[in-house]
Amino acid sequence: MAKKRIGVHVGTAGGCFTAVQRAADAGANTFQIFSSSPRQWKAAPVKAEDAAKMREARARLDVNPVSIHASYLINLCSQTESVRENSVDAFRGEVERALALGAEYLVLHPGSWKGLTREEGLRLAAQGIERAIGTLGGGVKWQDHNFRILIENTAGAEFSLGGSFDQVAELVATLQACAPMGVCLDTCHTHVAGYDIVTTEGYEATMRQVGETMGFDAVKVWHCNDAKAPMGSKLDRHEHIGEGTIGAAAFKRLLHDARFEHAAFIAETPVDDPGDEMRNVMALRALSAGS
């Protein structure tokens, strides 16, 4: 991507394709959406005309890549079989809708392994993704799609799979054979999980760990969120850019980090008032432009 891609999570009222103009109006040239309600298991398939409208609008407005965030209900490593089965079906639907819309990325939280060991949770999550991919109608030729499943790091809460870079890297490595994989890193999650991205020395130490575990090229998206809670708190509470415990300087450092020139930077910040999407996009743009 020649231009730095800075965007925001936007709504889809009126159809998924409306998100493109909504993102552009906020000053974004990339965006993230939910392809269906994130709190319902069942979802309708994408309408062909809606997908065509999204592709046309993206090309006209130069808005890319598109990231879809998978439903919050999905828990592929649940100890409960019925939840795992519902999660596999729901994730299969997420992949189908992402491919239909031409989205480049599908971001997934693997889930909670409460009641199991971490190793059992990792195995079940990997098996769930493999099952969902393996049962896509007619099979999928991945080489025909510019698409990746991105495993997102979590805030480090007990039993949450993906709370460490090691866990994210292990899951990605396990699944490389069944689908194109990558990583989405969240600044708030990273911070509250106990990784220092605030101090200059801490940032470099944290990035060394990124490089040694998943590798810089694997990180396709950064969710740019300031944090309401302190480092190491494991509390996932997002704040407006520059107004939380991470602070503007850390985002400026990240946006200027040449190791992530290829990545998209997408805010998932609060929408407390009209215009907050643009407010946070503009904050990131200003930090990106500064020397």
Q: Which residues are catalytic?
A: 39, 69, 72, 109, 152, 186, 189, 223, 236, 238, 268
For 219-250, what is each residue's pLDDT tens digit? 999 999 999 999 999 999 999 999 999 999 99
d(CA 159, CA 142): 32
pLDDT, position 7: 98
For 33-53, what is each residue's pLDDT tens digit? 999 988 889 899 999 999 999
In the chain, the number of structural domains is 1
CA angle 187, 190, 196 (to 5 degrees): 100
- Dihedral sign for Cα atoms in the order 229, 272, 185, 205: negative
- The domain spanning residue 266 has which CATH number? 3.20.20.150
- Dihedral sign for Cα atoms in the order 234, 239, 242, 248: positive
Range of the domain at 124: 5-289
What is the mean pLDDT of the segment spanning 180-185? 97
